[in-house]
Amino acid sequence: MDKEGNRRLSGFQELWGSRMVQRERIMNSIIEGFHLFGFQPQVLPSLYLAESLEKGSGMGEKMIYHFHDHGDRHIGLKFDHTIPLRDFVERNFSNLSFPYKRYEVGNVWRADKPGKGRFREFAQMDVDIVGDDSVQADIEIASFIPIVMQKIGVDVTVRLNSRKILSGLAETGQVETENKQFAMFRAIDKFDKVGTDGVLRELEKYGFSKDILKLTKEYLNIKGSDDNVISELQGLVGSSKSGKEGVERMKQVMRVIRDSGYKDEQFVLDPSIARGLDYYTGIIIETRFNPDPTYGSICSGGRYDNFIHNPTSGYAPAVGVSIGVDRLLAAMESTNLLHSAVTNTKVAFINFGLDMLPEYSKLANSLRGLGISTEICQTDKKIKDQFGFINKSNIPFAIAYGPEEAAKEVVKVKNMSTSTEEEVKITDLPIFIQKKINE
């Protein structure tokens, strides 16, 4: 318990009220976006044997919530949706048709230090294409992002690069071991936060040579049009096989995206993108939240071809991205893209007492039949206090139907924002309200 005697654990969110209403709408819009691109829903367990979570994840034991269950099995809570996907695909390989295009929306847990915008339990929305190593899968997993974000009114830039290009850079600089290569990538990954000089200091700290620093600086300075970036990358890393392949593939990706009808500023080929995780093997993707680019990537991922075992031929290729809903929400909140008071409810009936309740119930159900969210004030409070509740709850319309109105077979509809009142025939109420809402 904390100092107030509370039982709440830090790093865990309580979501409710207007913020939760908007969170739910945003998540639903994104899920509709997943459907539009033919991704199929999936839900996988939250609990796994700890050993299968840890295997090849690069996630330290300290970051995983793990424990022994009543059968003394060593269990862990999932910390992402990718490890469970690997587990699922490996066991169901023969039941799936490939490419397997799925999305998963759900909570993950990290026994992390909580902080501003960092939670121990948070929702992730993952999209993956498994069993397809084509350039087309790379393009699809990147090109759906701006459309989905547009649906929720968020302006983004999708930034693309390739781990193969980074490998090419490492090979050109003769960085030999995989561990040193990953250290180099992780240093470059900090570019957004620390700039070129910060990356170079980081590399120096890890003992990289002056030559590598010079090469990295040149690399990070590459910018301009696709053609320009591609030709400079070709010059810099093209002598390595991996670098050459990476540049060639990104050339194809950018060409198709440019010809698909997107706006130029929705995508950029950006050599400074590196991603922290070790398992990426091809395209890597980050998404800049344009209203405030300091917010870090709100949708990230890439190709991970050497991660999911294929029982017959080595590995199943895969590419995917993950949307961090709660970070996205925090970013939208801080840039005033969330509203302060939003409710789903459109209409509330003032309650004149239990005798009238069957009438309210009938009328409310007729509105609900048209898809209009309607509630009936619940208390025996004074009429004035009921209006106060409706006002505080931001419900746009209040309906008064008391003995006086019943005698005249009308209801009074009050528009709460304008404080104007109209008398409507009972039988006309559903159509009247529907028209008002659509105004």
d(CA 400, CA 415): 11
d(CA 145, CA 428): 44
d(CA 139, CA 141): 6
User: Comparing C-alpha atoms, which of 292, 290, 228 is closest to residue 263?
Assistant: 290
6: three-class secondary structure by DSSP: coil
> Based on CB atoms, which residue is closest to a second copy, 55 or 241?
55
How do strand 347-349 and strand 397-400 relate by DSSP bridges? parallel
CB atoms within 10 A of CB 243: 24
Report the nearest approach of a second copy to the CB of residue 320 (Å).
14
Report the nearest approach of a second copy to the CB of residue 31 (Å).
8
Q: Which two three-digit tokens encode residue 185?
A: 């990538």
> Based on CB atoms, which residue is closest to a second copy, 12 or 206?
12
> Based on CB atoms, which residue is closest to a second copy, 213 or 256?
256
Q: Which two three-digit tokens encode residue 420?
A: 């104007």
Do 222 and 271 form a contact (C-beta atoms < 8 A)? Answer: yes
Report the nearest approach of a second copy to the CB of residue 338 (Å).
15
Considering just the CA atoms, what is the radius of gyration of the chain in Å?
27
Report the nearest approach of a second copy to the CB of residue 269 (Å).
17
67: three-class secondary structure by DSSP: strand
> Based on CB atoms, which residue is closest to a second copy, 125 or 188?
125
Report the nearest approach of a second copy to the CB of residue 282 (Å).
15
Report the nearest approach of a second copy to the CB of residue 415 (Å).
18
> Based on CB atoms, which residue is closest to a second copy, 8 or 425?
8
Largest CA distance in the chain: 91
